Structure 1
Amino acid sequence: MLYARRGCLPKGKLKTLSKSRLQRTKPNRPNTEGATPAQIPAAHRTIAQKQLYYHHQDRPDPDETDKALIAEIYERHKGRYGQRRIAAALGWNHKKAARLMRQLGLKALIRVKKSLPPSRHGRNKGTMLHSDQGVLYRAVGYRELLARHSMVQSMSRKANCWDNAPMESFFAVLKTECFYRAGELTVDGLMKQIDDYIDYYNRERCSLKLKKLSPVAYRTQLAQSA
């Protein structure tokens, strides 16, 4: 017959043969219901059970040293560093830093919320509010609102707005990283906190815009390369 010459079998015989072969070659698997992967013989574990047994073995954590480095940097910078700054400080990919920080339960403590709680009545007395000479800040209603809260208004001179963007950016960093989480502070305590932070900002805090260096280190590098 044609199928015999080509080494083939009819469809019916092929199915019968396949079933008979499966019945002869199927191993006698023990009942493993309710057993842990360690209690199941290695020859009878499924792929999922083998993977589960592999991950449940008592093996040293391969990331233990890296996690210790992350925890040390996180504590040294008082929780100000997130995944990107920690990755920049260690020269890692930020995805690795994010994964290990997630396993350690660490996240940056700054800028968690975009809005601040409303201030209580009387807390703004004597506060100086600096702005440019925009029409909103010169409006009568706005100035009366400041007066009702005993706040002093300050404005830049005309055509002197070049430093607005960098200074506003720095003030935002200063407030969120320096004293927003410090609670109630006296004037002397606040001044000391700001002085300490300015020194930290200039000498230790890496800036992602300055080749991942602190401002002093970046300026020193420029001076040496000149």
Structure 2
Amino acid sequence: MLNGKRRLRMNKTFESIFWGIHFMHPEFGRPRITDELNENGYLINHKKVYRLIAGAVLHSDSGFQYTSKLYSSRLEDYGIKGSHSRKGNCLDNACVESFFSHLKTEKLYINKCKSEEELEQALEDYIYHYNYKRRQKKLKKRAPIEYRHAFTA
């Protein structure tokens, strides 16, 4: 746990330095901020810098409720950028779509939750089950964690 606390403290320090550079030099783009961080001893992935500059991004499908002006303006109010796949291209989030399909059919349609706490517990239970217990044909009849350990061994 100490490692997690240390990482959190380092992230907070990194973010404060990032925002300091960003406010001192608002004209700097991602490459220049990345270079500045590297010069200050933070060997950081340029994608992390991009995510901080871009802010939060919510990726969803192109359903009418997610592409409406009202929904987009609500996201904007919270400083979140909406992201959608192109029409007819479900491949960029196929694994997430598959997971949610399994979640609904194997857990939520069977167990009707009566409160938010029950729903949260049901989600946590299913995510654990999905990662550690649920065997998948495409993973040589292994659970994802089991497959990853076998693959890296």
TM-score band w.r.t. shorter chain: 0.3 to 0.5
**TM-score where L is the length of structure 2:** 0.45
The structure in which a higher percent of residues are helix is 2
Decide which structure has the larger Cα Rg and report it. 1
**TM-score where L is the length of structure 1:** 0.31
